[in-house]
Amino acid sequence: MTSHVLFLMASACSQEQKLIKKPKMYQPIFEITPEIEQHFDSSLRVKAEATVEAIALSKSISTATSQQQVELAKASGWGTLTDIWVKANHQGNTWQHRCHEKLSQLLTQTEIQSAKSATATAYQTSFEVIRAMWDILKDIGFTGGAIIEPACNTLAFMGCQPLLMRDRSQWVGIELDPIFAQIARLLYPEALIYAQGFETVSLSDNSFDLAIGNVPFGNYKLYDPRYAHLNLSIHNYFLAKCVDLVRENGLICLITSCFTLDAANTSFRRYLASKLELVTAIRLPDTAFKRFANTEVVADILIFRKLTETEQRATNQRNYKYPDWVKTAPSGKHTVNQEPIMINQWFVE
Ligand SMILES: C[S@@+](CC[C@H](N)C(=O)[O-])C[C@H]1O[C@@H](n2cnc3c(N)ncnc32)[C@H](O)[C@@H]1O
């Protein structure tokens, strides 16, 4: 899995030197098309019905044609489709009821349980935001390499990756929900998809050039003995594990809860600062996921570079001064009960 594409050296290499040779694919590479983009502007009913169709299709084929891939890519995450389960007991001929009936026939009991538990976290990122993330990575010199998306849903980050960069990349996706993991496999057969929890996946440390994605947020924890001493909420756990999977000078580009940077307790950010440099942080408006995934949440895009071993050792020195993004400060503008709202110093500046 190790790639020899050192992004810091990218500008010094010729295009030919950086190209990673790949076996010829037996079908065209699948990309997110304008038709798929437009679909995500549709009503909840249209999205739910397209998802049921995509699931039925995914269960009936082992490889997908280009047209089938377009239909599969229209599947929405379970978070957007909560109504199907919440309004399931409604009588009558509603779309929720019809979708519920069809899913009950298509899915096993285990898959239904998985779908219901995924409603808390399975909100897809809009293609617009994903493309903006690729633009930033391109601007800072990332040209391709070994990439992991640790909570990948349908692996749309791969479908939106600029083609030249994608040609130089090898992908690994992890998705807990078996239905969406299968859809990701049908869309991107060249990627290696693990249908299991990130906390149970065993991959070598320092083996990726980039970890990218939108991690599940929440005030609950996963069990992984390696990180148990850090006592992390799920979003911070994903970040901590990515720190170890990425190589020195490799990049982490994740959408995470605003609490990663804003939490009053600085211990996790001190842990991060001993291993990472914050390249940039962008706070998304709470409406960023509304149109696409029907949710309002404050989230940040965080881009980190993993420190070299020498740099990491320097952070252990007694006179080491933590960077400002470890601390929070009054936002300056807003108060609650006349108390200032504390946000990360990065955003205050
Ligand atoms: C916020 S969504 C993001 C999906 C996708 N990365 C995107 O940006 O469109 C989070 C995804 O994480 C998956 N997930 C939740 N818990 C997980 C776990 N423990 N391991 C792997 N995936 C998980 C959910 O099923 C969901 O698809």
Q: What is the pLDDT of residues 178-225, one digit of tens each?
A: 999 999 999 999 999 999 999 999 999 999 999 999 999 888 999 999
The answer to whether residue 15 is domain-embedded is no
Say if residue 175 is in the same domain as residue 304.
Answer: yes
Mutation to probe ligand 1, out of 176, 235, 253 (largest number of atoms < 8 A from CB): 176
Instruction: Out of 4-18, 249-263, 321-335, pick the least confident.
Output: 4-18
The answer to whether residue 143 is domain-embedded is yes
User: How far is residue 101's CA from residue 98's CA, in Å, rounded to a whole number?
Assistant: 5
Counting Cα atoms < 13 Å in the Cβ hemisphere of 185 gives 19
* Spacing, Cα 327 to ligand 1 middle (Å): 28
- Give pLDDT, residue 23: 53
Say if residue 95 is in the same domain as residue 240.
Answer: no
Q: Is the pLDDT of residue 11 over 60?
A: no
Q: Is the pLDDT of residue 10 over 90?
A: no
User: How far is residue 247's CA from residue 3's CA, in Å, rounded to a whole number?
Assistant: 10
Say if residue 144 is in the same domain as residue 79.
Answer: no
- Of all protein residues, the one whose alpha carbon is nearest to atom 24 of ligand 1 is 122
- Give pLDDT, residue 89: 61
* Spacing, Cα 334 to ligand 1 middle (Å): 32
**Rounded mean pLDDT of the chain?**
89
- Give pLDDT, residue 22: 53
The answer to whether residue 161 is domain-embedded is yes
Residue 122 CB less than 6 A away from ligand 1: yes
Structural domain including 162 reads 3-7+123-348
- Give pLDDT, residue 94: 87
Say if residue 138 is in the same domain as residue 190.
Answer: yes
* Spacing, Cα 77 to ligand 1 middle (Å): 9
Say if residue 189 is in the same domain as residue 245.
Answer: yes
Q: How many domains does one find in the chain?
A: 2
Say if residue 205 is in the same domain as residue 171.
Answer: yes
User: How far is residue 137's CA from residue 167's CA, in Å, rounded to a whole number?
Assistant: 16
> Of 117, 145, 180, which closes a domain?
117
- Give pLDDT, residue 24: 53
The answer to whether residue 135 is domain-embedded is yes
Q: What is the band of 265 on the pLDDT scale with cuts at 50, 70, 90?
A: very high
Q: Is the pLDDT of residue 88 over 90?
A: no
Who wins on pLDDT, 294 or 248?
A: 248
Q: Which of 258, 260, 209, 207 has its CA nearest to residue 238? A: 260
The answer to whether residue 93 is domain-embedded is yes
Residue 121 CB less than 6 A away from ligand 1: yes
Say if residue 66 is in the same domain as residue 92.
Answer: yes
* Spacing, Cα 109 to ligand 1 middle (Å): 20
The answer to whether residue 86 is domain-embedded is yes
Counting Cα atoms < 13 Å in the Cβ hemisphere of 267 gives 6
The answer to whether residue 62 is domain-embedded is yes
Mutation to probe ligand 1, out of 127, 175, 199 (largest number of atoms < 8 A from CB): 175
- Give pLDDT, residue 331: 86
- Give pLDDT, residue 233: 97
Residue 176 CB less than 6 A away from ligand 1: yes
Q: Is the pLDDT of residue 95 over 50?
A: yes
> Of 73, 94, 117, which closes a domain?
117
Tell me the average pLDDT across 254-269. Answer: 96
Residue 123 CB less than 6 A away from ligand 1: yes
Tens-digit pLDDT profile for residues 129-187 = 999 999 999 999 999 999 999 999 999 999 999 999 999 999 999 999 999 999 999 99
* Spacing, Cα 298 to ligand 1 middle (Å): 17
- Per-residue tokens: 225: 């003995």
Q: Is the pLDDT of residue 5 over 60?
A: no
Say if residue 191 is in the same domain as residue 321.
Answer: yes
Who wins on pLDDT, 12 or 266?
A: 266
- Of all protein residues, the one whose alpha carbon is nearest to atom 7 of ligand 1 is 124
What ligand 1 atom has the least distance to the C-alpha of 130? 8
Structural contact between residues 228 and 241, judged by C-beta atoms closer than 8 angstroms: no
Tens-digit pLDDT profile for residues 285-314 = 887 777 777 777 789 999 999 999 999 999
- Per-residue tokens: 154: 């349908």
pTM of this structure: 0.90
Q: Is the pLDDT of residue 17 over 50?
A: no
Say if residue 212 is in the same domain as residue 235.
Answer: yes
Residue 159 CB less than 6 A away from ligand 1: no
- Give pLDDT, residue 119: 87
Residue 71 CB less than 6 A away from ligand 1: no
> Of 54, 84, 117, which closes a domain?
117
Q: Which helix (H) or strand (E) holds 244?
A: helix 234-245
Say if residue 78 is in the same domain as residue 142.
Answer: no
The answer to whether residue 247 is domain-embedded is yes
Q: What percent of the chain has pLDDT over 90?
A: 74
